[in-house]
Amino acid sequence: MHNVDLNQLASLINKNVNGANATAHVPEDKKLDGSITVETSHVAKVCEWLRGNSEIPFNALQSISGVDYMEWMEVCYMFAHFDVAAPRELILKVKLTDRVNPNVDSIMKTYPAADFQERECYDMFGIKFNNHKDLRRILCPDDWKGWPLRKDYVAEKTYNGMDIYPDNKMNYEDRDYIVRQAMIKKAQETKAQ
Amino acid sequence: MQTRWDIGEPEKPTINADTEQMKSELLVLNMGPQHPATHGVLRIEIWTDSEIVAHAIPHLGYLHRCMEKHSENIDFRGVIPYVDRLDYLASMYMEWGYALTVEKMLGTEVPRRAELLRILTGELQRIGSHLMAFGTYALDLGAFSPFLYAFDYRERILRLFEEVSGARLLYNYIWIGGVWNDWTDEQLERVKTFCDDMEEEAKKYHELVSMNKIFVERTANVGVMSLQDCLDFGATGPVLRGAGYKWDLRKNKPYSLYSEFDFDVPVGTGEQGVPGDCWNRYIVRMKEVIESIKIIRQVMDKLEPGSIMGKVPKIIKLPKGEVYVRTEAPRGEIGFHMVAEQDQKTPYRLKVKSPCFTHISMLPRVAPGQMIADFVATVGSIDIVLGEVDR
Amino acid sequence: MNPHSTTHETASVKDYFGALFNGIKTTVVGMWITFRYVWGVKSVSIEYPEVREVLPERSRMRLFNDVQNCISCTQCAMACPVDCIYIASEKMPEGAEIKKTSNGQPIRLLLTQFTIDTALCCYCGLCTTVCPTECLTHSHDYEFSQYTIDGMKYDYLAPDVIAWRDRIVKV
């Protein structure tokens, strides 16, 4: 589906970017998409190479998405190549283990599209992008507290003196709500131990 | 590689004033489509020097509904009403993209008739969405009557959708594995008449608006998003095609049954103005309407009776892993990045790549040096729907 | 040269008058199209409160639950993406007669509450598709504005709401 041999691309990255430590993840299940994980500190260089190389270039950044796996966080860069002859996509990943102050280099210099995408990722996950020119919240209000798309996010009760979840509008007996709360509690307990 | 990002602090324009007492400073102005019924709610902070925009800063989030967070708590079927509300002017494409994502992970085979019906509704939706874009764009530029003509024809599409799916805007029609309801022969006949009428109507629109001298003067050579800019910012859809780049997922990376269909990909050729300006973006949309009609006619020939729902388990559980699926919506490529965990009834993470989000990020790039009235034309020409920008 | 070019510095007299003529021509063509609507095209709008459009059969308007056919299976509440359906049921009292729904399913539970918060409802129709006895349906009522948000909660066991049945349920 992706039209890219991930193993070949990973070895190319390793050859051209020193210390990138790219590893390809090709799932056994053919329905799923594979990805390439690179060293967090080298992502800017890898992206520069990805855009500028002549072998397997990617000329457009589609989106930057964060995924929170409780123990670590991932930033997924979705690249695409807009070329009639060889359309291709790539999911590039970096792993962030620090939940308190996660940071990764900005790729805004190479792909200006990253500007808003990184701001969104910062807004939702609190991942700081070094060297970003204007890193502030984009979808949430500037004075919002917390990182909403993290799994351990618990919504504030009030915002600027307003009730966020008025009792008469919440169905607290909602099954999923309870399940989610239990999951968060369990995660916090395991983290405390 | 040369970097093209250099906006920085707004530059103070030099004014050739012969007196020292004259003082000039930038004026901050808030602008933007503010009505939730058409484009959505957006605020663009523009710094102007008299009539000239020095700097534009988009402020998003006024329609943020936490759709990505919500979807982590809802089962896979229940997400469809939520993705409907992303781009509420082209809901079919949102559902389709999401359904394709889940089907790809499930490995579901969609029956042929369902695929054809999806293409039929999708292309009708594209016409409807482009009619809306046409009408509101003319409205943005001060022409009122095209809006009414476009709505007259859009109404016919909505009426058909209402009869088939039961709703006029947020359909919940394309389901995982197929489509909800079948079309009757009478409805398909009406689609045929609609196609014939629409072709005639499109000619009228061209006479009325496309070649109108005032419209051309307002849009040609205005808000030029060059091809290099479009690629830098990852623009897709009519914005990229308006810049003269022949890229359409339906043609270049066909999903569903699009490989069987014969249609052209219209690009901005600079008939008026230069490729990448507002007029070319507009004309690409109008030409796409004709291409959609072509596709619909081919669907009519291919349609055969059959099942409309594939085999989908009653409780959907996806394998552990991730997929990224892109589809070509009227406003550009909509992408769904789905991460699923084993034995979970809900998506672990659902990220939506929205086309208008990238297009809005190009505004600070295009705005400096434009007149305010031209900036209005530029914002209108990228045909934003804030529902999918803010999600 | 392109007659629509905006670079006027180099425009010759011919171009100037060409553009002028083009401007007048295209405006007249556009005005003529609009002018034809004065009598050539019949109006498409309807005068709403007096004239009402007949809704298509599948239209999804206010939900209605026919409680006599409800078997309290809670499938609708589980399918609902916004959780606006509240159902409560208890065991049938001993010795009570087990009724049957219109399609022959036995009602084994006593429905004690069936409330839908219409203010939360998103009219997606997922609840009606999972209903095994087809008692939960979208009616064609679309005029139900209320003064307070609590008024949007409909208790389908209340006698006045049950009385809608004759009007709504198409048997």
Percent of chain A scoring above 70 in pLDDT: 88
pLDDT grade, residue B3 (50/70/90)?
very low
Please indicate whether residue B23 or residue B97 has the higher confidence score (pLDDT): B97
Number of domains within chain B:
1
Number of domains in chain C: 2
B319 with A31: Cβ contact below 8 A:
yes
HEC sequence for chain C: CCCCCCCCCCCCHHHHHHHHHHHHHHHHHHHHHHHHCCCCCCCCCCCCCCCCCCCCCCCCCCEEECHHHCCCCCHHHHHCCCCCEEEEEEECCCCCCCCECCCCCECCEEEEEEEEECCCCCCCCHHHHHCCCCCEEECCCCCCCCCCHHHHEEECCCHHHHCCHHHHCCC
A1 burial class (0-12, 13-18, 19+ CB within 10 angstroms)?
middle
**Residue B130 and residue B90 in contact, taking contact as beta carbons nearer than 8 Å:** no
pLDDT of residue C89: 76
The answer to whether residue C38 sits within a structural domain is yes
Query: Which pLDDT value is given to residue C9?
Result: 61
CA distance B382 to B279: 11
Report pLDDT for A70: 83
Residue B29, strand partner residues = B46
Average pLDDT over residues B82-94: 88
Give me C110's structure tokens: 């006593």
Question: Cα(A71)–Cα(A66) distance, rounded to whole angstroms?
Answer: 14
Chain A residues whose CB is inside 8 A of the C87 CB are none
Taking 80 as the threshold, does the pLDDT of residue B25 lie above it? no
Q: Which of helix, strand or coil describes residue B3? A: coil
Mutate to test the interface with B, among C28, C31, C32, C34 (most CBs of B within 10 A): C34
Residue B72, pLDDT > 80, answer yes
Say yes or no: C145 and C103 in one domain.
Answer: yes
**CATH number for C77:** 3.30.70.3270
Give residue C10's pLDDT.
65
| Partners of residue B169 in chain C, C-beta under 8 Å | none
- Angle at which helices A43-52 and A6-16 pack, to 10 degrees? 110
Identify the pLDDT of residue B1: 40
Q: Are residues C133 and C79 in the same domain?
A: yes
Q: HSE of B179 in the Cβ direction (CA atoms, 13 Å)?
A: 27
Domain of B314, CATH number, reads 1.10.645.10
Could you tell me if residue B376 is inside a domain?
Answer: no
Does residue B123 or residue C167 have the better pLDDT? B123
pLDDT score at B15:
59
Statement: residue A160 has pLDDT above 50: yes
Q: What percent of chain B has pLDDT over 90?
A: 4
Confirm whether B58 is domain-assigned: no
Q: Give the number of other CB atoms < 10 A from CB of residue A7.
A: 14
Give the type of residue at B83: V
CB contact under 8 A, A174 and C83: yes
Residue C87 sits at φ, ψ, to 5 deg, of: -125, 140
End-to-end CA distance of chain B: 34
For B351-376, the pLDDT digits (tens) are 998 888 888 888 888 888 888 888 88
Distance, in Å, from the CA atom of C1 to the CA atom of B271, rounded to the nearest integer, reads: 12
Q: For the ranges A17-21, B20-24, B314-318, B347-351, which has the lowest average pLDDT? A: B20-24
Judgement on whether residues C45 and C116 belong to the same structural domain of the protein: no
- Please indicate, yes or no, whether residues C145 and C99 belong to a single structural domain of this protein: yes
Is A95 a residue whose pLDDT tops 50?
yes
Residue-wise pLDDT tens digits, B240-285: 888 888 888 888 888 888 888 888 888 888 788 788 888 898 999 9
Q: For C6, which residue in chain B has the nearest alpha carbon? A: B217
* Residue from B80, B152, B176, B213 whose CB has the most chain C CBs within 10 Å, to mutate: B213
Q: What is the DSSP string of A34-86?
A: -EEEE-GGGHHHHHHHHHH-SSS---EEEEEEEEE-SS-EEEEEEEEE--SSS
Q: Which CATH class is domain A6-140?
A: alpha beta
- Answer for the pair B7, B364: CB distance below 8 angstroms, yes or no: yes
CB within 8 Å: B220 and C30: no
Contact C99, C70 (CB under 8 A): no
Least confident of A155-164, B81-90, B208-217, C44-53: A155-164
**A1-15, A79-93, B83-97: least confident range:** A1-15
Q: Which chains touch A (3 or more CB pairs under 8 A)?
A: B, C
pLDDT of residue A1: 46
**What do you get for the CA distance between the two ends of chain C, in Å?**
71
Rg of chain C (C-alpha set): 30
The predicted pLDDT at position C4 comes to 45
Which has the closest alpha carbon to C125: B175, B345, B65?
B175
3-state helix/strand/coil string of B63-88: CCCCHHHHHCCCCCCCCHHHHHCCCC
- For residue range C85-140, what is the model confidence (pLDDT) as tens digits? 888 777 777 777 777 777 777 777 777 778 888 888 888 888 888 888 888 888 88
Sequence-distant (≥ 6) Cβ neighbours of residue B12 within 8 angstroms: B24, B26, B49, B54
pTM of the model: 0.86
- Say whether both C44 and C84 belong to one domain: no
Backbone angles phi, psi at B174, to 5 degrees: -85, 115
Cβ of residue B333 closer than 8 Å to a chain A Cβ? yes
Q: Under a CB-based contact definition with an 8 Å cutoff, are residues B210 and B283 in contact?
A: yes
From the list C55, C79, C123, which residue is nearest B78 (CB)? C79
Please report the residues numbered 89 through 148 in chain C whose beta carbons come closer than 8 angstroms to any beta carbon of chain B: 122-126, 129, 138
Residue B176's nearest CA partner among B254, B235, B96, B290 is B96
B positions 44-73 inside 8 Å of A (CB): 60-61, 64, 66, 68-69, 73
Q: Touching check for C90 and chain A: CB below 8 Å?
A: no
In a domain, B69, yes or no: no
Q: Tell me whether residue C68 is exposed, middle or buried, using C-beta atoms within 10 angstroms of its C-beta: 0 to 12, 13 to 18, 19 or more.
A: middle
Is the domain of C136 the same as that of C112? yes
| Chain B contacts in chain A segment 81-140 (CB below 8 A) | 82, 84, 87, 89, 91, 108-113, 115-117, 120, 124, 133, 137-140
Angle (CA) B237-B239-B241 rounded to 5° is 70
* Angstroms from C135 CA to nearest CA on chain A: 23
Contact residues on chain B for C123, CB-CB shorter than 8 A: 167, 170
Q: How many CB atoms lie within 10 A of CB C40?
A: 8
Q: Is residue C58 part of a domain?
A: no
Cβ contacts of B2 within 8 Å, gap of 6 or more: none
DSSP string, B249-288: HHHHS--TTGGG----------SSS-TTSHHHHHHHHHHH
Among A residues 154-183, those touching chain C with beta carbons less than 8 Å apart = 171, 174-175
Q: Do residues B298 and B261 lie in contact, with contact meaning Cβ atoms separated by under 8 Å?
A: yes
Task: Answer whether B274's CB lies under 8 Å from B257's CB.
Answer: no
pLDDT, tens digit, 9 for 90 and up, residues B276-286: 888 898 999 98
Say if the Cβ atoms of C81 and B81 lie within 8 Å. yes
Taking the CA of residue A164 and the nearest CA in chain C, the distance in Å comes to 16
* Alpha helix segments (H runs only) across B166-277: 185-205, 213-219, 227-232, 237-242, 249-252
Nearest CA in chain B to A2: B324
C57 occurs within a structural domain? no
Q: Is the pLDDT of residue C50 over 50?
A: yes
Taking CB atoms within 8 Å and a gap of at least 24, the contacts of C49-53 are: none
Give the model's pLDDT for residue B7: 54
Distance from B325 to chain C by nearest Cα, in Å? Answer: 23
Residues 6+ apart with CB under 8 A from C153: C115, C116, C117, C118, C119
Average pLDDT over residues A153-182: 66
Alpha carbon of C3: minimum distance to chain B alpha carbons (Å): 9
Would you call B324 helix, strand, or coil by DSSP?
strand
> Is C44 in the same domain as C70?
no
Q: How far is CA C37 from CA B75, B149, B202, C30, C48, in A?
A: 50, 10, 16, 12, 22
Which residues does chain A have within 8 Å of residue B45's beta carbon, measured at their own beta carbons? none
Decide if C88 touches A, using CB distance below 8 A. Answer: no
Q: What is the mean pLDDT of residues C52-62?
A: 85
Q: Report the residue from B232, B252, B323 with minimal CB separation from A84.
A: B252
Give the range among B93-102, B128-137, C62-71 with minimum mean pLDDT: C62-71
Identity of the residue numbered B363: L
Q: What is the ipTM of this complex?
A: 0.81
Picking from A87-96, A169-178, B185-194, B311-320, which range would have the lowest pLDDT averaged per residue?
A: A169-178
The SS3 of residue B56 is strand
Q: In this predicted structure, what is the pLDDT of residue B127? A: 92
Q: How confident is the model at residue B108 (pLDDT cuts 50, 70, 90)?
A: confident
For residue B318, what is the nearest residue in chain A, using CA coordinates? A32
Q: How far is A160 from chain B (nearest CA, A)?
A: 17
The DSSP secondary structure of A114-162, one letter per residue, reads HHHHHHHHHHHH--EEET-TT---SSS-TT--S-TTSTT----SEETTE
Residue C84 shares a structural domain with residue C147: yes
Set of chain C residues whose Cβ sits within 8 Å of the Cβ of A174? 83
Task: Show residues of chain C in contact with A172, CB under 8 Å.
Answer: none
Nearest CA in chain B to A59: B231
The answer to whether residues B84 and B71 touch, using CB atoms and an 8 Å cutoff, is: no
CB A56 within 8 A of CB A35: no
**Which residue in chain C is spatially nearest to B222 when comparing CA positions?**
C6
Range of the domain at B266: 76-327
Best CA proximity match to B285, nearest among B143, B56, B41, B90: B90
What residues make up the domain containing C44?
Answer: 1-49
Query: Are A124 and B66 contacting, i.e. CB atoms less than 8 angstroms apart?
Result: no
Let me know if residue B116 belongs to a domain. Answer: yes
Residues C116 and C68 in one domain: yes
Average pLDDT along chain C: 79
What's the pLDDT at C73? 80
Number of neighbouring beta carbons within 10 Å of residue A183: 13
Residues of A in contact with B357 (CB under 8 A): 116-117, 120
- Chain-chain contact of B208 with C56 (C-beta, under 8 angstroms): no
- At A11-26, the pLDDT tens digits run 888 888 887 788 888 8
Query: Residue ranges per domain, chain A?
Result: 6-140, 154-193
CA A13 to chain centre: 20
Collect all residues of chain C within an 8 Å Cβ-Cβ radius of residue A171: 83, 86
